[in-house]
Copies of this chain bind each other. A is one copy, B any other.
């Protein structure tokens, strides 16, 4: 089984964000998406999430239950880490489970402070735990590990791998080393039309 993106095209006004792009993602596996800044990675994820409609093309085989780490954290600023995670959890997920998950990646000290008072890397981890604990078959991650130092990143990566076993995972990253370390399929997105000629290097 696989998720198929076929001849998809999306423009915002004049701007062509994705120009006739196709790809296939294996269900139950992890795929890294790479490409230059502005090539449409985030837009591709939003299309697959069903948040925006493509102008042309189809997406086939998307599971119902989705979760995501967005490029920005998108947390409820005045609520605590625990509350932010609970927001997306099924009722059967206990408070202990949430606290356990947060503690596992080093947030045990700041469980109940409003997330606006957390450091950048801490907020990122809250967003990651939220994506993991939400009931889902596919997890979208848009540069999930940015802002984490090397040691922490290792820890978080293994936390994510452990908790997404069997799920489809799409990870956008700019770090080739990271992509190779994950040992997964890599999808390279080309810079899109008008930007192509001006693509750096």
A residues with a Cβ closer than 8 A to B are 12, 15, 34-38, 41-42, 71-72, 105-106, 108-110, 113, 117-122, 125, 142-143, 146-155, 174-176, 194-195, 198-201
Contact = CB atoms under 8 A, between A and B. Distances in A.
Contact of A151 (B38, B108, B201): B201
B174 A34 contact: no
A109 B37 contact: no
A152 to B, nearest CB: 5
Contacts of A15: 110, 113, 117
Integer count of this chain's copies in the complex: 2
B12 A148 contact: no
A149 B174 contact: yes
Which 9 pairs from chain A and chain B are nearest by CB?
Answer: A37-B121, A151-B201, A149-B174, A71-B120, A146-B146, A38-B119, A155-B200, A152-B200, A151-B200
A199 B201 CA distance: 39
B34 A149 contact: yes
A201 B37 contact: no
Given A38-B122, A119-B38, A152-B37, A198 B106 contact: yes
13 contacts: A15-B110, A15-B117, A36-B149, A36-B151, A37-B119, A37-B148, A120-B142, A143-B147, A146-B147, A147-B174, A149-B174, A150-B175, A151-B201
Contacts of A109: 194-195, 198
A120 B46 CA distance: 14
A36 B152 contact: yes
A135 to B, nearest CB: 27
Nearest to A146: B146
B42 A120 contact: yes
Given A155-B200, A199-B106, A120 B194 contact: no
Contact of A117 (B12, B147, B175): B12
